[in-house]
A and B are shown apart, each in its own frame.
Chain A
Amino acid sequence: MGNNGSKNGHGQDKGELVIENVTRVFRLPGAPSCTALQECSLTVERGKLTVLVGPSGCGKSTLANIAAGYDHPDSGRVLIDGRPVTGSGRDRIMVFQETALWPWMTVLKNATFGPTMLGEMSRSDAEDKAMVLLEKVGLKDFKDKYPAQLSGGMQRRAELCRALVMNPKVMILDEPFRGLDVMTRELMQEYLLKLFQQTGLTMLFITSEIEEALFLADRIMVMTNLPGTVKTTVETDLPRPRDYQVLATERYRQIKSQVMESLYEEGAKIFQRLDGIQDLLGNCQASSQP
C-alpha cells in the first residue's frame, strides 16, 4: 500500500493526524477537577489503521472529540497534514458510538446529505457515488428504507457510507460497533477492513476490545487510565487481507499477550486507586479463609 500521501485510485487525499501534547481537564462546580488527558501525543499515519485501546473511561472519547474538533484541548494542539485544527471540519469525519442517522431521511438521502448540501455535487452524481458504497456494504436494496426499518448492523454500515461519501482525509471511529451482537460485530469488522483496503483511508479506530483492535489494526496504541496518555505502541504486522484465520496464528497470540499485559496493568490501576474497595476485598478474602 502506498503511504506517501499522494492521491490514490479513488481520488482521496489521505491525511496524517498528529496529536501534540494535548491536555484536557474537566472542571465541574462542586467536584474535584478531572484530568482526562495529560500531555497526550500520538501520530496517526497516512493510510494506516491505528487503533486506540484502553479501559473504558480512560479518556479515549475525549481524545476522539478533540481530534474531530468538537472539544478543545486546554493545551497542546491537533494537526492535519501539518495544519492546526480549530473546529469540526469535513476533512475529519467521525462515526459515533450511537447511531446518528437522521430518522427522517431514507438511507440514500442520509448518505448523500453531505455532498449535496455543500453543493459540491449534483444530486445524481452524489447518488451514484453513494450507491457504489452502499452496494459494497450490501445495502443497495435498502436505499429507500428509513433507518428505523434497518437492523443495528445495517444502520452502522449506512453510517459508514455516509462518512465515506465525504472523501475525508481522516476517519475517526469512536467505538462504532459497541452494542452490536457478536456475529454482527464480526461482520462489521470485515466490512470495515474491506472498505479500508479499498480506500486506503487514514483511520483512527477507538475500542475497548482487544480482539477487535488486533483484527483491525496496523498499529495499536494502549492508553493509560486517567489521566490518559499513550502508554505503549504495538505494531500489528499481521498479513492483509485478514480474515478470522488470523486468530489462530502464533504471531496473533504474541501480539495479543503483549497488548493484554499492557492493558491489564491499566485495568489494575483503577482498583488500586479505589483503596477502600481493595481493603474491602482484602477483608473478604481474609474472612473467607479457614
Chain B
Amino acid sequence: MNPYFVLGLLVAAILAVGAWQQKKKAALYELSWGVQIFKTLTGRHFLLQLAGFAVFIAFWQLTVKTFSLPWFNRLPGPWECLMEWLSPDPAYGISIYTEDYYKHILFSTYRATTAFLLATLLGVPLGLLMGWSRKFYQYSFPLVELIRPIPPLAWVPLAILVLPGDEPAVIFVTFLVAFFVTTLNTLLGVESIDESYFRAARCLGADKQRLLLDVVLPGAMPFIFTGLQISMGAAWFSLVAGEMIAAQFGLGFLIWDSYSLIQYPVIIIGMITLGIIGWASSAVVRSIGRKLMAWRERELYGSGQSG
C-alpha cells in the first residue's frame, strides 16, 4: 500500500463529500457554486465551528506547552502530535504513512461493524417482537432489564473463557452493549406508535402479520434509527475497552500499548482517529435512516402546502 496514495485518497474523499454538499446547497438557494462555497467559508455557522476547535487546541497548547502545568506537562503538545501523525518517518512507528496504522483501524472497524450488524440483526427483531406480543414482552423484559446494567467489561472474563480465541470475545463484548441499546429503542419505538394507526389498519381488515409489516415496523422506524446511532457509538466505546484487554491489534490496543511503552503522541493519534471514525460511522447510519424515512424528513422540515 503506497502511503502517499492513501493520504491523497483520504483528502480527495473529504473534499468530494464537501463539494457535493456545497453543490446541493447551491442548487437549493439558486446560487452559483463558487458563491456558495464562499458563503459557507465565511458563514457564521462555519466560523463558530472553527472557533470551537481553535479554543480547544489553544487550551491544549497553553496547558501543555506554554505554561507547562504540572501533570499536563507530561503530555505531547498539539503540534508535536500533528507532526508525528503526518510524518513519513514517525518516531514511534505510527503515522498516516505506516501500514500498521491502517491495520489497527481496519481491525477496529471490522470488529465494530460486525458487532453492530449482529446487534442490529438480533436486536431489531427482538425489540419488535417484544413490542408486538404482550406475552413475549412479559417473558423477556425482566431478563433484559437484569442483564442490561452489567457493564461490558464485566463480561470480558466470561467471554474469554467461553468463546474460542480473543477475537470472538472482543466482538461479543462490543455486541452486547449495542444489542441492548438497539433492542430497547426498538421496543420504545413500537410502544410509541399511536393506537389509532393500529385501529385504522384493523378496520381495513389487516391481520397480525400485516400489522407487523405495515404498521409496527414503519411506525417504530424513527426510534429504531435513533437506537442504531446510539448503538454505533456504544459499539465503539465498548470495543476500545475490550481491545485494551484482549487483542493484538486495533485502536484500543494501540492506545493501551502506547501507554505501556510511553509513546504518548501515539495515544493522542489513536484517540483522534477514534473520534473521526466514530463520527463518520454515526453519520453513515444517520444518512441511511434519512433515506429510509423520507416521510419523516418532510414532517420535520417544512411541509409548505396548505389548502
Residues on A facing B (Cβ under 8 Å) = 68, 70, 88-90, 93-94, 96, 98-106, 113-114, 117-118, 142, 145-146, 148-151, 153-154, 162, 166
- The answer to whether A148 and B214 have CB atoms under 8 Å apart is no
* Closest A residue by C-beta to B215: A102
Q: Which chain B residues numbered 166 to 214 have a C-beta less than 8 Å away from chain A? A: 194, 196-197, 199-206, 210, 214
- Which residues in A have their C-beta under 8 angstroms from that of B304? 149
- The answer to whether A102 and B197 have CB atoms under 8 Å apart is yes
> A88-B203, A117-B205, A151-B305 given as contacts; is B196 within 8 A of A146 (CB)?
no
- The answer to whether B295 and A104 have CB atoms under 8 Å apart is yes
- The answer to whether B214 and A117 have CB atoms under 8 Å apart is yes
* Residue from B203, B204, B299, B307 within 8 A of A148 (CB atoms): B299
B218 within 8 A of partner (CB): yes
How many A-B residue pairs lie within 8 Å, measured between CB atoms? 82
- The answer to whether B219 and A104 have CB atoms under 8 Å apart is yes
Residues of B contacting A: mostly: helix
- The answer to whether B214 and A113 have CB atoms under 8 Å apart is yes
- The answer to whether A118 and B200 have CB atoms under 8 Å apart is no
Minimum CB–CB distance from A116 to chain B (whole Å) comes to 10
- The answer to whether A148 and B295 have CB atoms under 8 Å apart is yes
- The answer to whether A93 and B197 have CB atoms under 8 Å apart is no
B303 within 8 A of partner (CB): yes
Q: Which chain B residues numbered 49 to 93 have a C-beta less than 8 Å away from chain A? A: none
Residues on B facing A (Cβ under 8 Å) = 194, 196-197, 199-206, 210, 214-215, 218-219, 221, 293-296, 298-299, 303-307
* Residue from A90, A96, A146 within 8 A of B205 (CB atoms): A90
Minimum CB–CB distance from B197 to chain A (whole Å) comes to 6
Minimum CB–CB distance from B218 to chain A (whole Å) comes to 4
A103 to B296, CA, bound (A): 8
- The answer to whether A117 and B204 have CB atoms under 8 Å apart is yes
Interface centre among B218, B293, B295 (most CB of A within 10 A): B295
Known A93-B203, A150-B305; 4 more pairs at CB < 8 Å: A94-B199, A102-B200, A105-B295, A148-B299
Minimum CB–CB distance from A67 to chain B (whole Å) comes to 12
- Which residues in A have their C-beta under 8 angstroms from that of B305? 142, 145, 149-151, 154
A153 to B200, CA, bound (A): 18
Q: Which 7 A-B pairs have the closest CB atoms?
A: A148-B299, A114-B204, A100-B196, A100-B200, A104-B218, A90-B205, A146-B295
A166 to B299, CA, bound (A): 27
Minimum CB–CB distance from A86 to chain B (whole Å) comes to 14
Minimum CB–CB distance from A142 to chain B (whole Å) comes to 7
- Cβ contacts A to B, 11 pairs, < 8 Å: A70-B199, A90-B205, A96-B196, A96-B199, A99-B196, A102-B215, A104-B221, A104-B295, A106-B295, A113-B204, A113-B214
- The answer to whether B298 and A149 have CB atoms under 8 Å apart is yes
- Which residues in A have their C-beta under 8 angstroms from that of B206? 117
* Residue from B196, B202, B221, B296 within 8 A of A88 (CB atoms): B202
> A98-B196, A102-B215 given as contacts; is B203 within 8 A of A68 (CB)?
yes
A102 to B217, CA, bound (A): 12
A65 to B278, CA, bound (A): 50
A76 to B15, CA, bound (A): 73
* Residue from B204, B214, B221, B303 within 8 A of A93 (CB atoms): B204
- Which residues in A have their C-beta under 8 angstroms from that of B215? 102
* Residue from B200, B219, B294, B306 within 8 A of A96 (CB atoms): B200
Minimum CB–CB distance from A32 to chain B (whole Å) comes to 26
A35 to B219, CA, bound (A): 35
A206 to B304, CA, bound (A): 32
* Residue from A93, A105, A146 within 8 A of B299 (CB atoms): A146
> A117-B210, A146-B299, A149-B305 given as contacts; is B204 within 8 A of A100 (CB)?
no
A149 to B306, CA, bound (A): 8
- Which residues in B have their C-beta under 8 angstroms from that of A105? 218, 295
